[in-house]
Amino acid sequence: MPVARTATAGADSTSLAILVRLRNNGVYVALALLVLFNLFFTTNFATAGTILGLLSQATFVLLVALGLTLVIGTGGIDLSVGAIMAIASAVIPLYLGYTWPVAVLVALIFCVLAGMLNGFLVAYVGMQPIVATLALFVGGRGFAQVLVNGQLQTISDPGFLALWRATVFGVPMPVVIAAVVAVLVGLLVGRTTFGRYVLAVGGNRTASYLSGHPVRIVLVAVYAISGLLAGLAGTLATARLAAGDPATIGLLIELDAIAAVVIGGTPLSGGRMNVGGTVAGAILMLVISATFVMNNINPIYAQMLKAAIIVLAVYIQQGRRES
């Protein structure tokens, strides 16, 4: 640490201030620039249909990333979110016979329990988060496929499918749901006692414990919320596909979601959360892909750009810590 400090000690304060501002708002700047670029250069981008469609597609990563923001805020990580989406997708068709709200409720309960299992392993057993959630990452999707014998379960229940297809004042239902969840998570982080506990646990777990905070309960809760939001994402993905397909739903989503959180300004070291940044980060990830697709450029390049943005985001965050 002393080395890092002396290295930046000479940096001039205005460039530091710019760096700090860039760190806090960089993701919005990047998103705005990319959207501007598309408005001018990408044909058919500036239509309500395109933009709402993009937002709808962004909801999966967004919902998962919101839950991950809390987990990462405690200094943890949740690799199992994709597998939990698969569990939701497998459970829903099994219970549709009891009306679709029951099916969704049962699926979400499964997902919360899966999240609580992660939290229990981290908080009570003392496993490292990456290891604890790796278990479910590997086993969860397997479990989901066993539930449906590895088969695709098509769904025709109109009430359930409306979760994806319905609109509210012209806005697609998934976008409405994601927006509501984002606001709720924002309130949770910014206004509630629970949000403060999360930051304290992530900032210094021992200090938090010695201040009388319910550290273990907080940890179990953040993984449970992460499971719940992944389950919600899995539900929407299932509605969109009109089928329960645990083999593909949520596959590798954890990578984009973690990237969205980090780009949004929530450091992996914990103790800091930026919900607005996560929202922008999730949308940014999708707009990058869309920009390449809509301009007929090989999406492989989009992946390379995402990688560059992740590295840049983390670099800027480190710049802040050393100052």
Partner 1 sequence: MSEQDYILEVRGVTKRFPGVLALDDVSFGLGTGEVHALVGENGAGKSTLIKVVTGVHRPDEGEIFFAGERVSFASPREAQEAGISTIYQDTNMVPLRSVAQNIFLGREPRNRFGLTDTARMKREAEELLGRYGIEADVTVPVRSLGVGVQQMVAVAKAVSLDARGVIMDEPTSSLEAREVETLFGVIRQLREEGVGVLYVSHRLEELYEICERVTVMRDGKVVHTGDLEELPRLQLIAAMLGREAPEVEERISSSTAREHVTGELILEARGLTAHHAPRDVSLEVHAGEVVGLSGLLGSGRTETVKAVFGARHLESGTVSVEGEEVDPGSPSEAIKSGLAFVPEDRKAEGIIAELSVRENIVAAALPRLSHGGFVSRKEQDRLVERFMDRLGIKASSPDQPVGELSGGNQQKVMLARWLCMGPKVLILDEPTQGIDVGAKAEVQRLISELADDGLGVVMIDSEPEEIVEGSDRVVVLRDGGVVGTLSGGELTEENLVHMIAGSGDSEPKEDGGDASG
268 binds partner 1 (CB under 8 A): no
User: What is the nearest approach in angstroms of partner 1 to the Cβ of residue 131?
Assistant: 15
To partner 1, the closest distance from the beta carbon of 3 in angstroms equals: 10
What x-and-dash track marks residues 134-173 binding partner 1 by CB under 8 A?
----------------------------------------
Residue 128 near partner 1 by CB under 8 A: no
Task: Choose one: 66-74, 138-146, 159-167, 194-202; the region binding partner 1 (CB under 8 A).
Answer: 194-202
Which position among 7, 142, 168, 191 is part of the footprint of partner 1 (CB under 8 A)? 191
Residue with the two structure tokens 């993009």: 54
- According to the binding rule CB under 8 A, does residue 271 interact with partner 1? yes
Residues whose CB falls within 8 Å of the CB of residue 144, separated by 6 or more in sequence, listed in order: 83, 86, 87, 89, 90, 91, 246
Cβ proximity of 42 and 291 under 8 Å: yes
Which residue in 312, 285, 310 sits closest to 65, CA to CA? 285
The size of the interface with partner 1 (CB under 8 A), counted in residues, is 24
User: Is the CB of 23 or the CB of 240 nearer to partner 1?
Assistant: 23
Which residue among 47, 192, 248, 295 contacts partner 1 (CB under 8 A)? 192
Please classify residue 272 by burial: count the beta carbons closer than 10 Å to its beta carbon, then call 0-12 exposed, 13-18 middle and 19+ buried.
middle
Match 């003392």 to its residue by tokens.
126
Residue with tokens 């990462």: 72
- Output 87 or 123, the one with its CB closest to partner 1: 123
Range 272-301, binding partner 1 (CB under 8 A):
272
Contact with partner 1 (CB under 8 A): which of 44, 193, 296, 298? Answer: 193
Q: Which amino acid is at 306?
A: K
CB of 200 to partner 1, least distance (A): 6
Could you tell me the two tokens for 277?
Answer: 């940044």
Site residues (CB under 8 A) for partner 1, limited to 53-92? none
**Is there a contact between 202 and 75 (Cβ–Cβ < 8 Å)?**
yes
Smaller CB separation from partner 1, 120 or 209: 209
Cβ-contact 236, 174 below 8 angstroms: yes
Phi-psi region of 243 (alpha: psi -120 to 50; beta: other; left: phi over 0): beta
Q: Are 65 and 72 in contact (CB under 8 A)?
A: no
Pairing of strands 171-172, 167-168: antiparallel
The mark string for 212-251 relative to partner 1 (x by CB under 8 A, - otherwise) is: xxx-------------------------------------
CA distances from 282 to 55, 244, 279 (A): 10, 24, 5
Is 143 or 209 the residue whose CB approaches partner 1 more closely? 209
Contact string 4-23 vs partner 1 (x = CB under 8 A): -xx-----------------
Binding mask 198-217 for partner 1 (x = CB under 8 A): -xx--xx-xxxxxxxxx---
Which one-letter amino acid corresponds to residue 178?
A
Alpha carbon distance 285, 56 (integer Å):
13
Binding interface with partner 1 (CB under 8 A): 2, 5-6, 191-194, 196-197, 199-200, 203-204, 206-214, 271-272
